[in-house]
Amino acid sequence: MIEVTNLSKRYGRQLAVRDISFSVARGEIVGFLGPNGAGKTTTIRMLTGYLPPSGGSAKIADFDIFRQSIEARKRIGYMPENVPLYDDMRVREFLSFRARIKGLSNSDARRRVSHVIETCGLEGVRRKMIKTLSKGYRQRVGLADALVHQPELLILDEPTNGLDPIQIRQIRELIKHLALNHTVLISTHILSEVEMIANRVIIIDSGKIKAADTPQNLIADMRAAGRVQCEIQAPAEITTPVLANLPHVKKVSSEPLEDNWMRSTLWSDSGSDTRQTIASIASENGWPLRSLFRHEATLEDVFVEMTRKD
């Protein structure tokens, strides 16, 4: 559905996107992640035809975004971060207007508008002025606009921006439902949402692709997956050297707590688990042990690891 090859974008001397290549297959939900200024929005604007690339190429459903821009854009439903809506229109009126702009006939427009109003949960507000809608409903209207011409590909830039937790959950479930019939490329800072709905994740930083894989594989490969934390009642100068010499352990840090308790964090090889060994050593040395757990890595850990500057 999306084929990007050595795509670049330059603003004067600044290279915002640097020879990136990736693909998105039909039917996938792909999270497109990166810190502020990483090149996410610039890439999305090139894919949707809002910006011309400085180099490289990209295709949407086999149509080149530069040489066949109109055909490529017909296959895209784009929801930008700040959804542009006409506040002085009613919801159904706005969606009908947008459907006609996108080339639908009167009969097709009526049918599609009714469909997206139902799909996006807008039945109760279809006659309301857009300026009276809550942030959550405005996002739904923006999503309905992106869907009204029945595109093959949905590109969503921060679709849950500014929403409360209940609204975020509602939009997440809606996106999962839409993915049954659409390919979805979603850019967001809410990594837990991506972890729950995405088949694959692409991480971009400083204009370069840092990783592209399933969330599960990225999590399994990162070093934080082997982090264990324990609380032992013994001096750090005694416990730290012992813990640091355990198999697979790369680093140990300790911090003092109350009543001579010490909290130690062990970084070890990915996939290793030192908890049983720690418990045995504490028992053998007569060290009281009140807490012992293994850190379960998340997509957020992967994101921080991939984009850290040190």
H or E element, residue 173: helix 165-178
Each residue of 215-260: pLDDT tens digit? 888 877 765 456 899 999 999 899 999 999 998 888 899 999 998 8
Each residue of 148-190: pLDDT tens digit? 999 999 999 988 877 888 888 888 888 888 888 899 999 987 7
- The Cβ of residue 146 has, within 10 Å, a number of other Cβ atoms equal to 25
Q: Is the pLDDT of residue 305 over 90?
A: no
- Considering only 16-30, 173-187, 293-307, which range has the smallest mean pLDDT? 293-307
Q: Is the pLDDT of residue 97 over 70?
A: yes
3-state secondary structure of 167: helix
Q: Is the pLDDT of residue 303 over 70?
A: yes
Sorted by sequence, the CB contacts under 8 Å of residue 138 that are 6+ apart come out as: 83, 85, 130
- The Cβ of residue 98 has, within 10 Å, a number of other Cβ atoms equal to 23
Q: Where are the alpha helices (DSSP H) in 69-124?
A: 69-74, 91-101, 106-119
Each residue of 138-149: pLDDT tens digit? 999 999 999 999
Q: What is the mean pLDDT of the chain?
A: 90
H or E element, residue 55: strand 55-60
* Cα angle 101, 103, 107; round to 5: 105
- Domains of the chain, CATH where assigned: 2-215 (3.40.50.300), 228-294 (3.30.70)
Model pLDDT, residue 309 = 66
